[in-house]
Amino acid sequence: MEFPFDINQLFSERISVMDQTLIAGRKSAGRPDLQAHIATVIDELGRASAKAQQLTAPITSASKLQSQRHQLYLLKDGESSGGRGVVVGFLKVGYKKLFLLDRQGVHIEAEPLCVLDFYIAENLQRNGYGLELFDFMLQHKNLEPVLMAYDRPSPKLLSFLAKHYCLTQSVPQVNNFVVFEGFFLNRTVVQLRKVPPKKPDGEIKPYSLMEREAVRQEQRSLPWPFAPSHSPQRSVYSQYSHSLSVGSSPTRAPPRVAPPSSPGGNRDQSPRSPLVDRCRARRTSSLNRSQLGFH
């Protein structure tokens, strides 16, 4: 694919590895103009790949790459187009947490490296570019292709994997990913974890249905302070609850109105014990005797 700008200025290496930063080398670091050209290349490649796979929308774009932790391997031919270079194709990979089925039908939780998008320009296919790009990724990741998962592989990709890596026997899955024989062998416990079977629901006891209906009725009704006086829940609460708000308990007797106190009288209207009354009477008697001259 040709572009109206210098590809060699954007991508210094024959195969460039990019992530969410959209930096393809030292030249593009800190250069918004170059990164804008890189985004244009990625968007154009994504549209071409979607068209080749007959997809309704691209699954690769610069904005998606910036928002996801994926890696994109881009291959160029730097000598073409009068030394300006052309883009040959790209390969996008990323780790995905998947629930897979092995040959015995056991559910396995795994997080393998997945091939998410793979495209070589139509006019440059069958020249070994795809194998060169794929082998570079395997060496960069230090991984075997049988240990990878493939997201909705096209017939061309399946034929490519069978021809170059002898991957022909796939293990059927319920999702859009494809894995091959050998995927579940020689993998660490961290990479594979059996999902425990779901416990069957216990038998519902007859009385539990009544309890659930009672809970539903209670949730639909208003709480005690706002319920009508004739409602069942208010009568129940009035028998057993002890309100924490002052004066709001239904079992509390109405407060008695205290008689007005006389001038100079006692302001403390709380009840007194007989011992307190006797002490006060003794002090009053002593005071009267002293005023009358009795000692």
pLDDT at 15 (0 to 100)? 97
CA distance 251 to 218: 22
Residue range 153-173: average pLDDT?
Answer: 96
Q: Which residues contact 182 (CB under 8 A, 6 or more apart)?
A: 146, 147
Q: Residues annotated as binding site for acetyl-CoA?
A: 118-131, 154-163
Q: Residues annotated as binding site?
A: 118-131, 154-163
| Domains observed in the chain | 7-194 (3.40.630.30)
Could you tell me the pLDDT band of residue 186, with boundaries at 50, 70 and 90?
low
Residue with the two structure tokens 């320009």: 121
Could you tell me the pLDDT band of residue 247, with boundaries at 50, 70 and 90?
very low
Q: Which of 84-98, 224-238, 276-290 has the lowest mean pLDDT?
A: 224-238
pLDDT at residue 261 above 70?
no
Judge residue 110's burial from the number of C-beta atoms within 10 Å of its C-beta, 0-12 exposed, 13-18 middle, 19 or more buried: buried
Alpha helices in 72-186 (DSSP H): 129-141, 155-165
Residue range 20-29: average pLDDT?
Answer: 84
Q: 189: which DSSP letter?
A: T
In tens, the pLDDT along 1-16 reads 989 999 999 999 999 9
CA distance 294 to 208: 85
CB atoms within 10 A of CB 166: 11
pLDDT at 281 (0 to 100)? 62
pLDDT at residue 282 above 50?
yes
Q: Which of 10-14, 80-84, 164-168, 219-223 has the lowest mean pLDDT?
A: 219-223
